[in-house]
């Protein structure tokens, strides 16, 4: 029931916002030497995600793709936890024109996609959706919140799958002979 109340609250916020009143864009920073992608396809992915949730923060969303060690350091520096994690989200500062920042561990996505037997592109997309859900007000600290967030992640992934809007993430070979 609490999950339904969170969604109703988000929908009520959405109704108060005229679609002409908000503007969002993305900037991407790739700090992972193996990761390749089309900014065009990644922007199309986020444009669709933004359209699902017009109540989110306005401004430029910064998305950073990182190696595990740098991601762990960032996690430790800002959250005092140096253990590996998949995604770190920093809140919006709309006064400065920032919709927030999503920092993704590409290495964690490689590992988890293999363990879960799902395509790498779906794992990274899940992390991006998870980060955006945090920025629009979803939390995952309590069990009920975690359940709501997982349900919303599944809904988003299902819509992205239905619309064939997957980003085109690829990993370059580290083999010098290829």
Q: What is the DSSP string of 51-100?
A: HH-TTS--EEEEEEEE-HHHHHHHHHHHHS--S--SEEEE--BGGGTEEE
Domain ranges within the chain, ordered by starting residue: 23-171
Give pLDDT tens digits for 100-151: 999 999 999 999 999 999 999 999 999 999 999 999 999 999 999 999 999 9
Give pLDDT tens digits for 38-93: 999 999 999 999 998 878 899 999 999 999 999 999 999 988 888 889 999 999 88
Q: Topology of domain 23-171, per CATH?
A: Collagenase (Catalytic Domain) (3.40.390)
pTM for this predicted structure: 0.86
């Amino acid at each position: 029931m609490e999950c339904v109340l969170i969604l109703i609250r988000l929908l009520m916020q959405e109704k108060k916002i005229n679609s002409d009143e908000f503007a969002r864009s993305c900037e991407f920073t790739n700090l992972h030497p193996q990761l390749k992608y089309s900014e065009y396809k990644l922007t199309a992915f986020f444009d669709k995600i933004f359209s699902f949730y017009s109540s989110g923060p306005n401004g430029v969303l910064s998305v950073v793709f990182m190696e595990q060690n740098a991601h762990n350091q960032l996690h430790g520096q800002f959250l005092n936890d140096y253990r590996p994690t998949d995604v770190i989200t920093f809140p919006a500062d709309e006064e400065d024109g920032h919709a927030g920042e999503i920092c993704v561990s590409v290495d964690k996505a490689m590992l988890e996609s293999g363990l879960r037997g799902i395509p790498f592109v779906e794992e990274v997309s899940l992390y991006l959706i998870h980060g955006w859900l945090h920025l629009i007000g979803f939390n995952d600290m309590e069990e009920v919140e975690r359940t709501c967030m997982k349900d919303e992640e599944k809904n988003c992934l299902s819509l992205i799958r239905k619309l064939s809007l997957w980003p085109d993430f690829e990993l370059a070979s580290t083999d010098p002979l290829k």
